């Protein structure tokens, strides 16, 4: 059926996933485009499927990451399509709920309430279907209008958006200090290939060159030790010369500088 309400489910409870999936299959106006219990993979699914709605569990104890970090990552992305975000959670902390709203959650349904069920959550979304899709369409129109040939997106913005997406794919967390330095390093190489990357970044942030290089390498090492190997081999295709099977920060930034220069 055309004009289905499309939903991405980010949930680590198998029974909950099955219940929601079963109910959605019984409807004629809702489509489940993906299920994941990995907050980083959820960003990939969002980018690929552009769902109308994201149903998000905040505590992915049996998965990877958590709902708050997903919301934070979403908030930092410059996206054209803003989905309706429905949080479902067993966490009853108002501090956590307020933080979720701050990061962009549209509505929170507590799982610990007696009348909670996966079916009720979807029924709630179905009742809002026209409003959600109308809002999404309006956001898309504004985005297209903004990015007309008369007001093109700046190359710097395109570069930052691309790097944000690339680093998310391989699991480099925005919370890591080295990620900011890696982004700066790639941008420096794109503007002017130089071997003084750490020197430039250290001066910019009033740090030592050693601390900058260490932070970048730590961010890379963390990604290679925690990210799904399929994602790494899919999104990082350069040959790794190191015996540790982890790229050095110089190999890493040169790879992404070359990749982005070719693509953009």
Q: Mind listing the pLDDT tens digit for each residue in 143-166?
A: 433 343 444 445 666 777 778 778
Length of the chain: 264
* pLDDT less than 50: residues of the chain: 1, 141-153
Q: What CA–CA distance (Å, rounded) separates 146 from 252?
A: 34
Out of 92, 113, 146, pick the residue that ends a domain. 146
* Residue 123 sits in the same domain as residue 219: no
Say how many domains are in the chain. 2
Q: Which residue bears the tokens 């700066």?
A: 184
In this structure, what CATH number is given to the domain that contains residue 110? Answer: 3.40.50.2300
133 HSE (CA, 13 A, CB side): 14
Looking at residue 176, its pLDDT comes to: 80
pLDDT at 108: 95
Within this chain, do residues 40 and 103 fall inside the same structural domain, yes or no? yes
Domain boundary among 146, 177, 202: 146
Please give the pLDDT value at position 3: 84
24 and 98 together in one domain: yes
Same domain, 127 and 199: no
Residues 142 and 181 in one domain: no
Same domain as 140, residue 251: no
Nearest Cα to Cα of residue 87 among 110, 119, 69: 110
139 and 187: one domain? no
The domain of 55 spans 5-146
Distances in whole angstroms, Cα of residue 238 to Cα of each of 10, 117, 131, 150, 243 = 31, 46, 45, 37, 15
């Amino acid at each position: 059926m055309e004009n289905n309400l499309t939903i991405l489910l980010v949930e680590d409870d198998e029974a909950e996933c099955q219940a929601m999936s079963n109910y959605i299959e019984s409807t004629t106006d809702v489509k489940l485009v993906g299920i994941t219990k990995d907050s980083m993979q959820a960003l990939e699914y969002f980018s690929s499927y552009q769902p109308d709605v994201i149903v998000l569990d905040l505590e992915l104890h049996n998965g990877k990451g958590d709902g708050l970090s997903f919301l934070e990552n979403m908030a930092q992305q410059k996206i054209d399509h803003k989905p309706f975000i429905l949080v479902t959670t067993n966490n009853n902390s108002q501090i956590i709920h307020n933080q979720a709203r701050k990061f962009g959650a549209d509505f929170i349904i507590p799982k610990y309430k007696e009348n909670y069920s996966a079916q009720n959550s979807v029924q709630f979304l179905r009742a809002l279907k026209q409003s959600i899709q109308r809002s999404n369409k309006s956001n898309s129109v504004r985005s297209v209008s903004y990015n007309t040939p008369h007001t093109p997106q700046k190359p710097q913005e395109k570069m930052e958006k691309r790097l944000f997406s690339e680093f998310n794919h391989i699991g480099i967390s925005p919370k890591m200090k080295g990620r900011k330095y890696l982004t700066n390093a790639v941008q420096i190489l794109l503007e002017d290939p130089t071997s003084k990357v750490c020197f430039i970044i250290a001066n910019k942030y009033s740090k030592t060159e050693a601390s900058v290089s260490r932070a970048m390498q730590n961010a890379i090492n963390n990604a290679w030790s925690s990210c799904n190997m399929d994602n790494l081999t899919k999104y990082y295709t350069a040959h790794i010369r190191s015996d540790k099977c982890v790229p050095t920060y110089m190999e890493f930034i040169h790879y992404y500088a070359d990749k982005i220069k070719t693509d953009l």
